Amino acid sequence: MSLINKIENRNANIGVIGLGYVGLPLSMEFVRAGFNVTGIDIDSKKIESLKNNNNYIQDVKDQELFEAIKKGKFIATSDFSVLKNLDTISICVPTPLNKQKDPDISYINNVIKKLRNFIHQDMLIILESTTYPGTTRELILPELESIGLNVGTDFFLCFSPERIDPGNKEFGTSNTPKVIGGITQHCIINGAALYKTIVDKVVSVSSPESAEMVKLLENTFRAINIGLANEMAIMCEKLGVDVWEVIEAASTKPFGFMKFSPGPGLGGHCIPIDPHYLSWKLRALDYDARFIQLAGEINTSMPNHVIHLIIKGLNKKQKSIKGSKILVVGVSYKKNVNDVRESPALDVINLLNNNGALIYYHDPLVPSIQINDEKIDGQKDITSVFLSSIDAVVILTDHDCIDFNFIAKNSSLIIDTRNIIKNKNANIIKLGVGN
C-alpha cells in the first residue's frame, strides 16, 4: 500500500518529535483525525508528565489528551527506535539562538543523526522547526541520503513552518492554512496529503527554501512593525502625544494599514528569534539586512525604556529606584498564556535587580520564574494593604484574569506599558504618552 493510501485510510503511523508548544498540539490534531500517534521527546520530565496525566501545554485540552493516552491513540516516549515503525515524522524541536545571536540548530542535528538509523522505504519526514533558508536541502537531505536511499522515490522530505499562536481562541492548527514545500514534487504531494487530514487548507510552494522563507517573512514582518510601533511610542512621548489614540485612529483606515501595538519588548518562541535566522543567512552572502537590525535594536531597547519610565515616576515622588519596592504585573510574553520564553518582563526584572530595587511580581498564570538560576515565586494575593507598601507597579502583561481596576485604585504609582488603565491620573505613567 502506498504512503498516500495509508494516509487517506488513516492507517499511517504518525510520529512527532518534540512535544512542546508545537509538537503536542500537532499530535492531538492527528489523533483527532483518526491516526495513531507516537510522540518522541528527549525531556524525560515531559514523558513522565504525560504518562501521569499531567498536561503542561495550555492550548491542549486535558480530557482529550488523557483519553488519547488511555486508549493508546497517543504514546509518548524518549526511545527513538520506535521510528522504524512510523510512516511519517514531523520534527518540532527548538531552534534557539546562541549567545552571539546565531542559529543553534543542534537539536535538529541530533534528531537527524538518530533518524538516519531508522529511516525506511516510503517514510515522510517534515521539518517544522523554524530555521534559515537552505536547512532542509543543505543540512538534512545529505545526511538522510548518505545511507543509500533516494529522496522523492525511497523517502520524502519537506519543510512546513509551524503557525502556532498560543492563547489564540479564534485560530488554531485546523483553521490556519498550512504551507509546505518539498525537495521533489512527490515530496510535496505526500506532505500535502498528510496535512490535508488535519487542516482546512494546505498551501504548496515550489521548494523547502520557499517554505522556510515564508516563516521568516511572517515573523520578520511582525518584528519590524512592532519595532515601528515602539519607536512611534517613544516619539509620541517626546511630542506630548498619546500613541494609543494615534494607533486606534489610524486603524480605522480600511486599507493600507495594519494595527501593531507598542510594548515593553518582544517575547515568545518566534518573533524575537526568527529574524536573526534570516539576517545570519544573509551575512553569509555578504548582505546587511538593515531593517531587521534596526527593528531588533529598537525592540531590545524597550526594557531599558521601561526602567527609564519607572525612574521618572519615582523621581516625581522624590524616591530613588534603589531600595524601592516594585511590583511587576504580568511576566508571560503575551496576554492569557503561561509562556515566559524570551519574555521582556524577565529583562525588566533583571534591570530592576541591577538597579537595586526590591522586586515582587504577580501573574496568576505563572506561579514561579527563574532569574539568574534563582527561583522566584509570584505574589498570589494582591491586597490593598500590600499595594499600599509598593512604591511602583509596572504593568507588562495584560491578562484578562487580573483585576487591573483594583490595582489602579490602590496604587500610588503605575507604569502602564499596555494601555490597560484608561482613566487619566497624575500617578499613572503610560508608555507612549507625553506627560
Residues known to be catalytic = 270
Nearest to 433 by CA among 199, 242, 184, 167: 242
Distances (CA, A) of 330 to 264, 327, 364, 406: 11, 10, 8, 15
Which position has the grid cell 511519517?
88
Which position has the grid cell 515593553?
264
What are the residues whose beta carbons fall under 8 Å from the beta carbon of 128, sequence distance 6 or more? 22, 26, 90, 91, 92, 159, 160, 161, 162
Fill in the amino acid letter for 92: C
Strand partners of residue 10? none
- The residue ranges of DSSP E strands in 114-219, in sequence order, are 123-127, 155-159, 178-182, 202-205
Rounded to whole angstroms, how far apart are CA atoms 13 and 36?
A: 6
Rounded to whole angstroms, how far apart are CA atoms 44 and 381?
A: 33
Report residue 85 as a C-alpha cell. Answer: 515503525
Distances (CA, A) of 259 to 117, 177, 222, 244, 255: 48, 22, 10, 11, 11
Distances (CA, A) of 139 to 84, 144, 160, 295, 346: 22, 9, 16, 29, 34
Backbone dihedral region of 102: left (phi > 0), alpha (psi from -120 to 50 degrees) or beta? beta
Report residue 72 as a C-alpha cell. Answer: 493508546
Which position has the grid cell 514561579?
368
Residue 202, φ and ψ in degrees, nearest 5: -110, 130
A 10 A CB-CB count for 30 gives 27
